[in-house]
């Protein structure tokens, strides 16, 4: 609950999307609570923006939420967007709000956009309450909202990447602890890696939690595959931090993608397989479909000299250039305004309306 003394009028958060390289699937509690898990991932310069303000009491509705649809509601229970509803519940927000969402890339495409939304919204709500959360506070809050309050079959890596930002090895321990270790790489090595990565939008969108449910159910029968995918995190870090052939990273991506495809028949599709094989035949050393599977963005690893051929082979797909980013979720606009000033404005407007009515509505 927020004090009535001072309320911030407008907050805007910016939260990055992520690309996961290795270890996906080991960040689900059903796996890491027994075996431990880790992922290697980076955030990129594509963002989710959330603007939030206290809604003045002039409207028929108490709150207004704008995303791919518009909701005007009078109670928490009326809110249809599950992440909005449960974030407000978690943060004990009782005042009316106006919340707007904008994203650089579409939702349900494998870049962790749902968790970026949840993290970004929690960040704005903390700011509205004049509280400064740690990055781990944001990550754990988003995990609680998505896994416990909404009940989605999601892992934990997306929330951590969105909160912390950067190129990290994120470890999930059997006792529930989460540790984040930045990947310390020479700048020229990191630049060379970035120059070998290509991102294409397949045009297919899907609900990751539906596919993830199948993967979670299959986990007891896929221990060898998940164990191998977990081990690749350290192997990939060794490649990046060493002085050997950087292209081994791309070859490992291919190996990891073959393992991931074997987890369930929902991970890939005939169309995705066709796209991936077209890239490979044009010179790609490896790659993967990002996210739980089924569609969205495909990441390709290729040497610079092979990339023009890959562009030609995949010219019907949308190519999305990107850069690594290191900021994580940030508040990029914070307007200090007092409740008293807002109330004064409201009282002035009410007085003018009274005068206008007494003058015959002129």
Question: Cβ(37)–Cβ(234) under 8 Å?
Answer: no
* pLDDT surpasses 60 at 23: yes
Residue 2 confidence class, pLDDT cut points 50, 70, 90: very low
* pLDDT surpasses 80 at 205: no
Residue 272 CB contacts under 8 Å (≥ 6 apart), including other chains: 202, 204, 289, 294, 295, 298
> What is the greatest pairwise CA distance in the chain?
84
| Confidence (pLDDT) at 293 | 63
Residue 318 confidence class, pLDDT cut points 50, 70, 90: very high
* pLDDT surpasses 60 at 357: no
Comparing CA positions, the residue from 200, 178, 159 lying closest to residue 18 is 159
Each residue's pLDDT tens digit, 40-53: 999 999 999 999 99
| Confidence (pLDDT) at 214 | 66
Tokens of 200: 């294409």
* pLDDT surpasses 70 at 9: yes
* pLDDT surpasses 70 at 15: yes
Question: Cβ(9)–Cβ(50) under 8 Å?
Answer: no
Secondary structure E strands in the chain: 10-22, 37-54, 63-66, 70-73, 97-103, 167-172, 178-182, 197-201, 286-289, 297-301, 318-319, 324-325, 330-335
Report, as an integer, the average pLDDT of 287-312.
Answer: 92
> Whole-number mean pLDDT of the chain?
89
Positive or negative, the Cα torsion across 282, 285, 291, 297?
negative
Question: Cβ(263)–Cβ(159) under 8 Å?
Answer: no
Whether the full predicted model's pTM is greater than 0.85, yes or no, is yes
| Confidence (pLDDT) at 209 | 60
Domains annotated for the chain, with CATH where assigned, are 10-333 (3.30.230.120)
* pLDDT surpasses 60 at 247: yes
* pLDDT surpasses 80 at 260: yes
Question: Of the spans 15-29, 213-227, 261-275, which averages the highest pLDDT?
Answer: 15-29
| Confidence (pLDDT) at 337 | 63
* pLDDT surpasses 60 at 134: yes
Question: Cβ(17)–Cβ(116) under 8 Å?
Answer: yes
Report, as an integer, the average pLDDT of 281-295.
Answer: 88
* pLDDT surpasses 50 at 4: no
| Confidence (pLDDT) at 43 | 98
Residue 354 confidence class, pLDDT cut points 50, 70, 90: very low
CA 117, CA 226: separation in Å to the nearest integer?
A: 28
Count of residues for the chain?
A: 362
Comparing CA positions, the residue from 190, 119, 203, 205 lying closest to residue 158 is 119
């Amino acid at each position: 609950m927020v004090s009535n003394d001072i309320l911030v009028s407008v907050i805007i958060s910016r939260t990055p999307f992520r690309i996961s390289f290795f270890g996906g699937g080991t960040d689900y509690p059903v796996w890491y609570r027994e075996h431990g898990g880790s992922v290697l991932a980076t955030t990129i310069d594509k963002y989710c923006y959330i603007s939030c303000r206290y809604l003045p009491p002039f409207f028929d509705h108490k709150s207004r939420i704008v995303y791919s649809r518009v909701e005007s509601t009078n109670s928490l229970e009326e809110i249809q967007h599950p992440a909005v509803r449960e974030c407000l519940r978690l943060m004990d927000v009782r005042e009316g709000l106006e919340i707007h969402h904008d994203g650089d890339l579409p939702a349900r495409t494998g870049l962790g956009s749902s968790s970026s939304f949840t993290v970004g919204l929690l960040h704005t709500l903390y700011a509205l309450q004049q509280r400064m959360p740690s990055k781990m506070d944001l990550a754990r809050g988003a995990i609680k909202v998505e896994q416990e309050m909404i009940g989605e079959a999601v892992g934990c890596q997306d929330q951590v990447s969105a909160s912390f930002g950067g190129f990290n090895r994120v470890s999930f321990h059997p006792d529930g602890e989460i540790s984040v270790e930045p990947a310390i790489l020479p700048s020229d090595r990191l630049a060379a890696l970035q120059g070998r990565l290509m991102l294409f939008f397949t045009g297919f969108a899907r609900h990751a939690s539906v596919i993830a449910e199948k993967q979670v159910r299959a986990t007891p029968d896929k221990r060898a595959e998940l164990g191998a995918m977990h081990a690749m995190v350290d192997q990939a870090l060794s490649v990046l931090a060493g002085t050997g052939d950087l292209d081994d990273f791309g070859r490992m991506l291919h190996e990891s993608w073959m393992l991931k495809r074997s987890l369930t028949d929902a991970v890939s599709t005939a169309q995705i397989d066709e796209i991936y094989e077209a890239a490979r035949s044009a010179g790609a050393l490896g790659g993967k479909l990002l996210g739980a599977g089924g569609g969205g963005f495909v990441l390709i690893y290729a040497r610079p000299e092979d990339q023009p051929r890959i562009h030609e082979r995949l010219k019907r797909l949308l190519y999305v250039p990107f850069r690594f980013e290191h900021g994580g979720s940030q508040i990029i606009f914070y307007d200090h305004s007092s409740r008293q000033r807002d109330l004064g404005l409201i009282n002035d407007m009410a007085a003018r309306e009274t005068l206008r009515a007494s003058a015959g509505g002129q």
